[in-house]
Amino acid sequence: MAELAYPQAHAAPAPSVRRVPLSWAWLGVVPFFLFALLFLILPTLDLILGAFRTPEGGFTLDNIRRLNTPTIRGAYKISLQVSVASALLGAVAGFFLAYAVVMGRVPRWLRPVLTTFSGVASNFAGIPLAFAFLATLGPTGLVTALLMNNFGVNLRALGFNILSFWGLTITYLYFQIPLMVLILMPALDGLKKEWREASAILGATTFQYWRYIALPVLWPSLLGTTILLFANAFGAVATAYALTGSSLNIVPILLYAQIRGDVLHDPHLGYALALGMIVITGLSNVGYIWLRARSERWIR
């Protein structure tokens, strides 16, 4: 007993001995924090504060109030619509694709093909993506022409225009769906076969299995990823700009034009616009982080 007690007694003062080197350890992360402060946190804070300042430097809520114009309200509205639609559709389509490959009993080689392609497609964004969809669904695009010549379907007469809500949503899905697939595949792998077997033994139908077991487990990562997709679409500039120029009035385009000095000639209104974007993507990502932490408890 005494021999067992000895090392414990010996170990007790150890924390105070180790405190000495620890006191300088923080120096090792100074470069990182300095970088984060200079190029991420301070510039953002500066904008946020700028949104509440008058040009003379006093405090004001006027900039925020001035967001309430038909143009800016409309821009936020269509931005939210495109982001929500592309996030939800991307989530649903991505779920079915990931499900098909992980659990659909399709040939094994399809999985690495889908993973690799998703890696590429989720990064094939920005301006080239806009070009690709102009070639596909633009006024003279391949699919537009195909439908017109072979099936007599005139997309334009049906009200479809690539420079519109649906045009932008369909284009964004090209990176939204693969992103969902990439994040969801590991989550689907986390569904243990035993759960399904156990529920089947207890007499559960497929519907009951999904309703009471699989979806509750997947729910946080599904919803969390959908929120990530939302923020992803909401901040996107390049694709929309290359696709529509400044003809489609969405918030990032409005802010881009404002920074370039094209429209508002009012930097403080620009700060308020930026603040609105931070608030919206910030809230959605707080949700994401929270839900992700919850889902990681289940998926091991």
CA gyration radius for the chain?
A: 26
Closest to other proteins by CB, 186 vs 216, is 186
CB of residue 95 vs other proteins: minimum separation in angstroms?
Answer: 9
> Which has the closest alpha carbon to 172: 115, 274, 227, 243?
243
Please report whether residue 88 would count as binding other proteins according to CB under 8 A.
Answer: no
Please report whether residue 261 would count as binding other proteins according to CB under 8 A.
Answer: no
Please report whether residue 125 would count as binding other proteins according to CB under 8 A.
Answer: yes
Closest to other proteins by CB, 74 vs 235, is 235
Q: Which distant-in-sequence residues (6+ apart) come within 8 Å of 142 by Cβ?
A: 135, 136
Contact set for other proteins, span 223-242 (CB under 8 A): 228, 231-232, 234-239, 241-242
CB of residue 30 vs other proteins: minimum separation in angstroms?
Answer: 10
Binding characters for other proteins, 159-178, by CB under 8 A (x = yes) = --------------xxx-xx
Q: What are the residues facing 53 on neighbouring strands? A: 59
| DSSP of 134-181 | HHHHSTT-HHHHHHHHHH---TTTTT--TTSHHHHHHHHHHHHHHHHH
Binding characters for other proteins, 102-121, by CB under 8 A (x = yes) = -xxxx---x----xxxxxxx
- Token couple for 134: 């102009």
Contact set for other proteins, span 40-59 (CB under 8 A): 40-44, 46-47, 50
Closest to other proteins by CB, 199 vs 243, is 243
Residue 53 DSSP SS3: strand
Under 8 Å between Cβ of 130 and 239: yes
Question: CA distances (Å), 224 to each of 108, 155, 220, in order?
Answer: 28, 35, 6
Give the binding range for other proteins (CB under 8 A) out of 81-89, 129-137, 153-161, 202-210: 129-137
